[in-house]
Amino acid sequence: MKPIISASEYVSESAGPRPPVLLDVRWQLGGPPGRPDYEAGHIPGAVFVDLEAELAGPAGEGGRHPLPDPVEFGAVMRRAGVGRDSSVVVYDGGQGWAAARAWWLLRWTGHRDVRVLDGGLAAWTGELTKEIPSPAEGDFVPAPGALPLLDADGAAALARSGLLLDARAAERYRGDVEPIDRVGGHIPGAVSAPTGENVGADGRFLPAGVLASRFTELGAAEGAREVGVYCGSGVSGAHQVLALELAGFPDAALYAGSWSHWTRDESRPVATGPEPR
């Protein structure tokens, strides 16, 4: 199944006999909480899910946005109406990072029918509502492990043996600036691949063929090389995993702790500059 859905496709499906469960996960890195924006107006039927509190565990040893406890994540999804056989559509404000995080978590925990609304709320031309839905309890039970996951050692090994993509902005990869984490730079051997280059000016994903060319130029080769992704804290990296799937490189591994976890241990090596090593 294609991991994204257009606004017009969603309208058509929502009018059918089995409308998708719709999740609003608006969030901004370092910005205010998304709940007030949701309450001010959202796509009809959307249930708000808080990335900081419900799509991540407490910040600490695991990084800034460690994976949530699967049992707690399952409870959140069931309260939102997600069932084992539900079709799920997720959107955010338009950047796509938060929506991709929810997409990745659902896929990682075994849900097969989940898509990101391409372009997010910015692509929605229909009405908005302030009405808060009360969905029936779902029956989705997470079964973690359906997508590959990397720890720090696995990411370091993959940077040597396969292709490890760094999804952060190029200046953070080079170490020119580091506005969030302890130190700038990148995991030695990782290749710079900013997430922002997966989308056009409208925030929608580039065509699959364009994405395939991009990742091929970065070193991906279908079926011939393992691919992994990391970012600052495992959010925009999920967007990169989704883009890779669109491009025909499914099941890329995510280093969920990412740079915020890597740099907590001062003994781990850090590379700077434009080259992988």
Q: Which two tokens stand for residue 235?
A: 């959010």
- Determine the Cα–Cα distance for residues 72 and 105; give it in Å rounded to an integer: 12
Do the beta carbons of residue 194 and residue 170 sit within 8 Å? Answer: yes
Q: Which two tokens stand for residue 58?
A: 């407490």
Nearest to 140 by CA among 102, 111, 99: 111
Half-sphere exposure of residue 57: CA atoms within 13 angstroms, side-chain side: 13
Instruction: Tell me the Cα Rg of the chain.
Output: 18
89-121 burial code (b ≥16 CB/10 A, e <16): bbbbbbbbbbbbbbbbbbbbbbbeebbbbbbbb
In order, the DSSP letters of 107-133 are HHTT---EEEETTGGGG--S--B-PPP
Do the beta carbons of residue 255 and residue 229 sit within 8 Å? Answer: yes
- Determine the Cα–Cα distance for residues 82 and 84; give it in Å rounded to an integer: 7
Nearest to 6 by CA among 135, 122, 108: 122
* Active-site residue (options: 212, 231, 235, 243): 231
Does the active-site annotation cover 271? no
Active site residues: 231
